[in-house]
């Protein structure tokens, strides 16, 4: 099912003409489809029906309250990585008992916040952190729920910046260290061992690393059982790739079957997955307008009003986002690079794409921009951040206003 598609020559989001949105809310503008978001959530939930599963949405992908609320209403929990995200998740309506807190650098203040709000679990990433959580919980006369994030020795094939497992990764701990942490945690009155956590990387297109991780997690759970440590959930992370042809290769059914198979000895244990991108990437597009057409025969550019400060992924990861015209045209076509206005050579959205007679003022849509788009955006080059709009059928709603010059200086003394 397509949610960003042409009706005649005009690109629509659900039933709303995108050109209308650009006129009404200006550009650059993030546009999301609520129907697409729900479609993705339900699709994923169906794959994982084999086991009792809690889907914890990784807020870092896009923490807009309206998108979060839509997922929360579908039954999702939240995976967060900062105190700010704990508060955003609670504000969006996620129950604290469905919030998981990951991240290698949790501060004491953030730990106290998590304990105080009664979150489901801390996904603990080092022995030092485990000790800090035990100390803070003890001071608060509370019991902190913990899971250890295990960095299984599995190499996932993706961009080096989005691998989170393997020898060189800063995330989680090795299996032996994890085992010692569980043994230590078992003796602490201020800690309750609740789960096991692992997350191998982002934008993975092969089911293999998931199957390998499930096997190792199953073995690890059996090792814990010898110490009379049993868990209420195993959290296998997110990272499900979306977008492009490769998606066809990601066999979610194989992953779901591998989890059911490897964890069948632990029937009372729940499965948790933490998708971010899978749910929101294709639910969003970034609209931008051509400001200048420049260049010579060999190198021609469409300079647009969105930049790498709005969508960093192409510059950061070399990520490919299709760029398409909002209104289809007839005429002569040419090959262009699409570049933003930022003073960085990396501020290029695509290179060598064919466009039909593009002109100043034309609108382009940068697709699959719903995940790690707005949430990674910045004010670099003193550019106010873009607005966000949610489309629901034929209704569109501003879900974040465009920033102004005042927003650029708000935190500085006058």
**Alpha helix positions (H), 159-251:** 175-186, 208-225
Contacting residue, 83, 200, 218, 239, with ligand PLP by CB under 6 A = 239
Contacting residue, 17, 136, 211, 274, with ligand PLP by CB under 6 A = 274
Contacting residue, 16, 18, 61, 150, with ligand PLP by CB under 6 A = 61
Q: Are strands 144-149 and 387-392 parallel, antiparallel or unpaired?
A: unpaired
Sole window of 132-140, 235-243, 284-292, 402-410 interacting with ligand PLP (rule: CB under 6 A): 235-243
Separation CA 321–CA 144 (nearest Å): 41
Contacting residue, 70, 164, 190, 212, with ligand PLP by CB under 6 A = 164
**Under 8 Å between Cβ of 215 and 178:** no
318: which DSSP letter?
-
Q: What is the DSSP string of 233-276?
A: EEE----B--SSGGGGG--HHHHHHHHHHHTTT-TTPEEEE--S
Sole window of 177-185, 218-226, 252-260, 271-279 interacting with ligand PLP (rule: CB under 6 A): 271-279
Which residue is catalytic, options 1, 168, 343, 414?
Answer: 343
CB nearer ligand PLP, residue 274 or residue 392: 274
Residue nearest to ligand PLP (CB): 276
Maximum alpha-carbon separation in the chain: 74
What tokens does 1 get?
Answer: 């099912």
CB nearer ligand PLP, residue 27 or residue 162: 162
**Under 8 Å between Cβ of 40 and 2:** no
Confirm or reject binding of residue 58 to ligand PLP (CB under 6 A). Answer: yes
Contacting residue, 145, 209, 237, 358, with ligand PLP by CB under 6 A = 237
Q: Are strands 363-366 and 387-392 parallel, antiparallel or unpaired?
A: unpaired
The yes-or-no answer on residue 68 being catalytic is no
Confirm or reject binding of residue 238 to ligand PLP (CB under 6 A). Answer: yes
Catalytic (active-site) positions: 343
Question: For binding to ligand PLP (CB under 6 A), which residues are involved?
Answer: 58, 61, 79, 102, 164, 199, 202-203, 237-240, 274-278, 371
């Amino acid at each position: 099912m397509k949610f960003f598609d042409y009706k005649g020559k005009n690109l629509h989001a659900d039933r709303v003409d995108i050109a209308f949105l650009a006129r009404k809310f200006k550009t650059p503008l993030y546009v999301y489809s609520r129907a697409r978001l729900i479609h993705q959530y339900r699709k994923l939930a169906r794959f994982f029906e084999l086991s009792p599963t809690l889907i914890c949405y990784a807020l870092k992908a896009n923490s807009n309250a309206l998108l979060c609320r839509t997922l929360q209403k579908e039954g999702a929990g939240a995976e967060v990585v900062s105190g700010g995200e704990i508060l955003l998740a609670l504000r969006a309506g996620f129950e604290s008992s469905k919030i998981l807190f990951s991240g290698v650098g949790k501060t004491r203040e953030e730990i106290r916040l998590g304990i105080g709000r009664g979150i489901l679990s801390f996904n603990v990433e080092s022995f030092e952190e485990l000790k800090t959580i035990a100390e803070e919980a003890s001071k608060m006369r509370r019991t902190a729920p913990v899971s250890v994030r295990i960095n299984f020795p599995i190499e996932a094939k993706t961009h080096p910046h989005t691998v989170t497992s393997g020898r060189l990764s800063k995330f989680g701990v090795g299996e032996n260290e994890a085992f010692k942490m569980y043994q230590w945690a078992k003796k602490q009155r201020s800690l309750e061992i609740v789960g096991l956590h692992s997350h191998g990387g982002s934008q993975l297109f092969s089911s293999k690393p998931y199957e390998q991780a499930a096997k190792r997690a199953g073995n690890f759970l059996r090792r814990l059982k010898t110490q009379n440590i049993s868990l209420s959930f195993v959290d296998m992370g997110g990272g499900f790739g979306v977008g492009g042809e490769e998606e066809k290769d990601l066999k979610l059914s194989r992953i779901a079957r591998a989890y059911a198979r490897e964890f069948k000895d632990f029937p009372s244990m729940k499965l948790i997955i933490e998708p971010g991108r899978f749910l929101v990437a294709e639910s969003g597009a970034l609209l931008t307008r051509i400001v200048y057409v420049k260049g010579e025969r060999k190198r021609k550019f469409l300079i647009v009003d969105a930049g790498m400060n709005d969508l960093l992924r192409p510059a950061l990861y070399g990520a490919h986002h299709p760029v398409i015209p909002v209104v289809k045209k007839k005429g002569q076509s040419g090959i262009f690079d699409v570049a933003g206005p930022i003073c960085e050579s990396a501020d290029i959205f695509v290179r060598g794409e064919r466009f039909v007679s593009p002109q100043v003022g034309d609108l382009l849509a940068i697709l699959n921009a719903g995940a790690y788009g707005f949430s990674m955006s910045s004010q670099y080059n003193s550019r106010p951040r873009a607005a966000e709009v949610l489309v629901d059928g034929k209704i569109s709603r501003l879900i974040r206003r465009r920033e102004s010059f005042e927003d650029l200086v708000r935190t500085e003394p006058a």
